[in-house]
Amino acid sequence: MTLSGYWTPPDMFEEIGADAGSELMAELVDSFRLDSGEHLRILREAIAAFDLVRVRREAHSVKGSAKQMGADTMASLCDEIEIAAETGQWRELAVVARRLDESFSHVCLAMTVYRSAPTASVI
């Protein structure tokens, strides 16, 4: 899978002037990485603690950020986590959470490549 299979810059980036290499783009990417990374850490802790309320809350937070930033695969995985939490499917939660962590890593890499490229065609 290419990096673009993990992340596609949303149209809003163009609308707000967040071109590849811009300061605004860097701020958006850095904020997404830090905030989502923290929510994912808390999500893993919540799964380990069998805390379904926190699992749903953290998955929902990550899903919203992922949708805004064009990380559709991450958002879909968060949907799966929310459903698994609602139905108490602990094994499924652990499996999907690992896939979410992997997707997050790929999204961060794709964003880094995009950020440092003169055009988005590199991803």
Q: What is the pTM of this model?
A: 0.86
What is the distance between the alpha carbons of residues 98 and 66, in angstroms, rounded to a whole number? Answer: 16
User: How much is the average pLDDT of 69-95?
Assistant: 94
Q: Under 8 Å CB-to-CB from 97, ≥6 apart: which residues?
A: 43, 44, 47, 81
At 28, the pLDDT band (50, 70, 90 cuts) reads confident
For the chain, the distance separating the N- and C-terminal CA atoms, rounded to the nearest angstrom, is 11
Please give the domain boundaries of the chain with CATH numbers for all domains. Answer: 19-116 (1.20.120.160)
What is the distance between the alpha carbons of residues 82 and 122, in angstroms, rounded to a whole number? Answer: 33
Element containing residue 4 per DSSP (H, E): none
Supply the pLDDT for residue 119. Answer: 52
